[in-house]
Amino acid sequence: MCGSKEFTDNNFKSKKCNNCGFVFYINASASVAAFIVNEDNELLVCVRGREPEKGTWDLPGGFVDDNETAEEAVAREIKEELHLTVLSVSYLFSVPNKYEYSGLTTPTLDLFYDVKIKAFNELKADDDVETVMFLPFSEVKQGKFGLASIKKAIKRYLENKI
């Protein structure tokens, strides 16, 4: 508030300014990811085109923008990254995460959804997705995913599919 650089740990989830007493709470940012399965019962898997974890497998998704619901965010991210239109979105579960970008670690709460797509004929990798593929569940390998929360989500999701 006062512009001081005198921030110290207040407790495990906040920092406090030693000059004016302002307390800043480090709350999680919301992000979304989609499990998309085609008519052949294969999972849509992306390859990350940017850091962090460039070149590793991922699920389509991203951060929830200001004044946007998580459901709107997952539909927007799928449109931006894959050029696909979402028919329905069903919440599955959440996983806490630490997202490292530009030297900053942000706590996130990653919300996972089962997403149905109108049609796959417009499918095209874009934005921060390098490439996209459909894999049978038996070929989806947890270790090829880069982000910790996605690895945990894949494990949980596959336990119910295989």
* Section 14-25 average pLDDT: 90
Q: Which residue has the higher pLDDT, 38 or 12?
A: 38
The reported pLDDT for the residue numbered 162 is 62
Put simply, whether the predicted model's pTM sits higher than 0.85 gets the answer yes
Report residue 1's pLDDT band, with 50, 70 and 90 as the boundaries. Answer: confident
The reported pLDDT for the residue numbered 12 is 85
Tokens of 130: 């390098």
The sign of the torsion formed by the CA atoms of 101, 25, 28, 12 equals positive
The reported pLDDT for the residue numbered 3 is 84
Tokens of 1: 């508030």
Single out the residue of 53, 48, 51 nearest to residue 61, CA to CA.
48
Tokens of 12: 């495990």
Domains and CATH numbers, the chain: 26-159 (3.90.79.10)
Contact 30, 77 (CB under 8 A): no
- The string of pLDDT tens digits covering residues 85-125 is 999 999 999 999 999 888 888 899 999 999 999 999 999 99
Single out the residue of 116, 42, 15, 34 nearest to residue 74, CA to CA.
34
Nearest-angstrom CA–CA distance, 78 and 104:
25
The reported pLDDT for the residue numbered 63 is 96
- The string of pLDDT tens digits covering residues 22-70 is 998 888 999 999 999 999 999 999 999 999 999 999 999 999 999 999 9
Backbone angles phi, psi at 35, to 5 degrees: -95, 115
